[in-house]
Amino acid sequence: MAVIVNAQPVVNYLTGVSARQVPFAVSLGLRRTGADAQKAMQDHLKESFRLRRDSFNLRGIKINKGDQPTKTNWRVVITLDPRTDYLQKFEEGGIKQPVGGRKYLWIPNDKVFHGRIISASDPRRPKNLNMHRDSHGRVLGDQRTFMIMPKNRQDPIVLQRTGGSGHSGFTESSLKKLSLDNFGGFKGEHSKVERRTLTKRKVRQQDLAVVKLYTLKARVSVPVKLEFVDTITKTAQKVAPGRMTEAMIEALRTAR
Q: Using one digit for the tens of pLDDT, what is the confidence trace for 87-112?
A: 988 998 888 888 888 889 999 998 88
Cα(129)–Cα(213) distance, rounded to whole angstroms?
11
pLDDT at 209 (0 to 100): 78
Q: What is the mean pLDDT of residues 44-61?
A: 91
Backbone φ and ψ for 162, nearest 5 degrees, come out as -120, 0
pLDDT at 171 (0 to 100): 43
Domain limits for position 159? 95-220
Residues 57 and 162 in one domain: no
Residues 196 and 234 in one domain: no
Q: Is the pLDDT of residue 135 over 50?
A: yes
Residues in the chain: 256
Residues 73 and 109 in one domain: no
Q: What is the mean pLDDT of residues 141-169?
A: 77
Q: Is the pLDDT of residue 31 over 50?
A: yes
Q: What is the mean pLDDT of residues 42-57?
A: 91
Cα(165)–Cα(140) distance, rounded to whole angstroms?
14
Residues 99 and 213 in one domain: yes
Residues 115 and 57 in one domain: no
Based on the structure, what is the number of domains in the chain?
A: 2
Residues 105 and 37 in one domain: no
Residues 215 and 105 in one domain: yes
Listed residue (109, 128, 130) closest to 119, CA to CA: 128
Residues 28 and 87 in one domain: yes
Q: Hey, which residues does 216 pair with through a beta bridge? A: 106
Q: Is the pLDDT of residue 136 over 80?
A: yes
Q: What is the mean pLDDT of residues 145-155?
A: 81
Helices and strands, counts by H and E, the chain: 9, 11
Residues 99 and 163 in one domain: yes
Residues 164 and 202 in one domain: yes
pLDDT at 180 (0 to 100): 35
What is the rounded average pLDDT for all residues in the chain? 80
Could you give the percent of the chain with pLDDT greater than 70?
74
**With contact defined as beta carbons under 8 Å apart, do 6 and 75 qualify?**
yes
pLDDT at 175 (0 to 100): 41
Residues 121 and 201 in one domain: yes
Residues 198 and 147 in one domain: yes
